[in-house]
Amino acid sequence: MEKNSKGTLPLSELTAVSPIDGRYAEKTAALRQTFSEFGLIRNRVRVEVAWLLFLAKHEQIPEVTLSRAARDKLSAIGDSFTLDNARRVKEIERTTRHDVKAVEYFLKEQFAGVSELENVVEFLHFACTSEDINNLSWALALKSTRDDVLLPLMRRIVEQLAALAREHKGVAMMARTHGQPATPTTMGKELANFAVRLKRQYDQVAAAAIMGKLNGAVGNYNAHAVAYPHVDWLAAGRDFVASLGLTPNAFTTQIEPHDYNAELFNAYQRFNTALMDFDRDMWTYVSLGYLVQRKLPGEVGSSTMPHKVNPIDFENSEGNLGVANALLAFFAGKLPISRLQRDLTDSTVQRNMGTALANAAIAYTSALRGLAKVDVCADAMAQELDRHWELLAEPIQTVMRKHGVEKPYEKLKEHTQGKVVTADTMRAFVSSSACDGIPDDERAALLQLTPCTYTGLAQRTVDTLLDQHVVF
């Protein structure tokens, strides 16, 4: 087995400790751009560059003046940041033992030989504490991952569910409450329920403010105000954070207090919880035969039972949602707590945020794969409904109540409970003297009713729900 000079295995999808970068590397590759060490360093570089460019444009800071060519050169450092650049930052960090200072020194190296940039080199990291750079870098990672990776996956789930709901809105299905046969619904209506639930939480995730601050060592612009007392630093800090596409938080200690993290992660949790509920229901529908899975060529369901086609995608989704939610719940509870003006416990915790979001991405991808492999088996559901004519006891006794027939519930209980109930027995009851008092036209309608047609407003409700609540 290959080993490197230190006697350890080289990192690959086969040797990665975490399945995120191992077994599921293909599903999580997009997150490497934002939540890897490279992604964090690149964001730090971009924030430092953006801050210097902001200072250069400020009319009341004449010491930082850059030509268009110098500004373009400065912007290019952030825009074209490479893996080799990141390796150089890590090399510097081995000496500084400080990750943000290493970024500052790297940028000073990049300024060498460019006279305009050399002239303003000490305005790099001007009046900043490390957390000014870090909080913005993490916020950019969260925003990019949400907007470019997770929301598109979440939207695809909702859209596919809505499409399936419309397609199968009239397919009757026996509901189950407490696991027992209950009033019929339709497969489309049940799928629409999930589409609406998930869309609501999608909206909450999309609307969550992702916040940032740049206000110095304890949030008071102390150094800024001493150096340039005539600058409106409250406005400057607000404008700079907003220029990054983030929501400014003017009231902080040394750290942005992470309350928005809790809000965002709680929103993800709610989406994930609804999706977990969906995964479990889909698993159950497969088990009941309501859904049939298409077997892919070469796919093996069991190492010993050749006939099996297991609902592995919904199971994988459910499992990864559980991991994601456990981490998200921890982050939401821990990150808003920091001793006095700050402690460092948030730093190592934040480095795990990408892990939770990667598990969510795996889950969303698996749920989509599961959805793409199932077909609705209308015949199986119709056959099951035909075995449960006792389900019509509900509408019959309701019509009996309407017309003042005495003890309708008790009469139907005696007629159906613990007995094999068929179409003939239910129709015989409707035709019997037990239903005297029901007008002939309504009695005729009850005689025409079947478990498959007793679906209420389910079909109409699907279009109403989706038209009103699942709009992007």
Q: Which of the residues are catalytic?
A: 178, 302
Rg value, the chain, Cα: 31
Q: Tell me the HSE value of 99 on the side-chain side, using a 13 A CA sphere.
A: 16
Instruction: Report residue 228: phi and psi, to 5°.
Output: -135, 80
CA distances from 402 to 183, 393, 396 (A): 19, 14, 10
Take residue 281 and report the two structure tokens written for it. Answer: 């229901």
Residue in 30, 237, 253, 54 with CA at minimum distance from that of residue 144:
30
- Beta-bridge partner residues of 212: 248
Question: Helix crossing, 151-167 with 259-288: angle to 10°?
Answer: 30
Torsion angle defined by CA atoms of residues 140, 146, 150 and 156, in that order, rounded to the nearest 10 degrees: -140
Cα–Cα distance measured from residue 268 to residue 264, given in angstroms and rounded to the nearest whole number: 6
List of residues 6+ apart from 27 with CB closer than 8 A: 361, 362, 365, 366
Q: Are 361 and 30 in contact (CB under 8 A)?
A: yes
Secondary structure class of 183 (helix, strand, coil): strand
Cα–Cα distance measured from residue 451 to residue 420, given in angstroms and rounded to the nearest whole number: 15
Take residue 433 and report the two structure tokens written for it. Answer: 């003297």
Alpha-helical segments (H) within 129-258: 130-145, 151-167, 187-207, 222-227, 233-243
Cα–Cα distance measured from residue 347 to residue 335, given in angstroms and rounded to the nearest whole number: 9
List of residues 6+ apart from 332 with CB closer than 8 A: 261, 262, 265, 266, 269
The 10 Å Cβ neighbour count of residue 148 is 13
Q: Are 438 and 400 in contact (CB under 8 A)?
A: yes
The 10 Å Cβ neighbour count of residue 340 is 8
